[in-house]
A and B are shown apart, each in its own frame.
Chain A
Amino acid sequence: KAGVTQTPRYLIKTRGQQVTLSCSPISGHRSVSWYQQTPGQGLQFLFEYFSETQRNKGNFPGRFSGRQFSNSRSEMNVSTLELGDSALYLCASSLEGASGYTFGSGTRLTVV
C-alpha cells in the first residue's frame, strides 16, 4: 500500500511569507502528526490531528497551525515566516499510536 506522502519535497520562501505543507496519510490511518527537525533543536512535536480535530499540540507559536480534512489528509501552515523556521517538516500517520507511526519523507523548507 502507498506510504505517507508529503508535498512539496522542497520549498524556498522569503521571510514574512506564509507557506502550506501537505500530508496524505496511509489509507485508513486517522491520526496525523507533524514534527519539525532542525540541526539545533532536533525533532520537535508540532501537533497531532485525529478525525479532523487537533488532539495534541506542542510548544510552538500560533504562527504554526494545521488542519485535517475528512479524508484524513492534513495540511500545516506557517505564517509570517522567520529564518528560524527553516527545517525539515515531517508528517507521520498511525492507525493506532501504540503500534508506531509511519513517516513521510518530509518537506525541506528554506526561508531566505
Chain B
Amino acid sequence: AQTVTQSQPEMSVQEAETVTLSCTYDTSENNYYLFWYKQPPSRQMILVIRQEAYKQQNATENRFSVNFQKAAKSFSLKISDSQLGDTAMYFCAPWAGQNFVFGPGTRLSVLP
C-alpha cells in the first residue's frame, strides 16, 4: 500500500517570497505519477503540477516547480514569488494507475 507523508502541517510565507513544501511517499510500484493539488477555501481541488516518475527532469509550471528525488521517494513543491491567491491546503498525491493516495496536506498562508 502507498503511504504519503507531508511533515509540515502548516506554513506561512511573505508575499513575493519563495516557499518549499515537502512530501515523501512509499510505493512498491515502478511506474507511477506524482501530483500536487491545492485546495483553496472554495474547497475545489486544483491541479498544480504533475511529474512522471520515469522522467528525471523536474517538472515546472510557471511559478511552481518540483524537486523529485526518486531514490529517496521525495517530491517537494517550490512556489516562487508567492501570491495571496496561493493561500490554500496543498496535497501531495502519488498515482499508480488506480487511485490517488493523498497526503495529510500542508496549510499554506501567504501573508501580505
Closest to A56 in B: B98
Against B, the Cβ 8 Å flags (1 = close, 0 = not) of A72-112 are 00000000000000001010100001111111111000000
Considering the chains assembled together, what is the distance between the CA atoms of A40 and B44 in angstroms?
19
Interface size on B, residues (CB 8 A): 22
Majority DSSP secondary structure for residues of B touching A: loop
Query: Is the Cβ of B44 less than 8 Å from the Cβ of A103?
Result: yes
Considering the chains assembled together, what is the distance between the CA atoms of A44 and B95 in angstroms?
13
Interface size on A, residues (CB 8 A): 23
Query: Is the Cβ of B102 less than 8 Å from the Cβ of A48?
Result: no
In B46-69, which residues have CB < 8 Å from any A CB?
46-47, 50, 52
Query: Is the Cβ of A100 less than 8 Å from the Cβ of B35?
Result: yes
Query: Is the Cβ of A98 less than 8 Å from the Cβ of B44?
Result: no
In B88-111, which residues have CB < 8 Å from any A CB?
91, 95, 97-105
What are the residues of chain B within 8 A of A103 when measuring CB–CB? 37, 44-46
Besides A43-B100, A48-B99, A106-B44, 7 more A-B contacts (Cβ < 8 Å) are: A33-B99, A35-B100, A42-B103, A42-B105, A90-B45, A100-B33, A100-B47
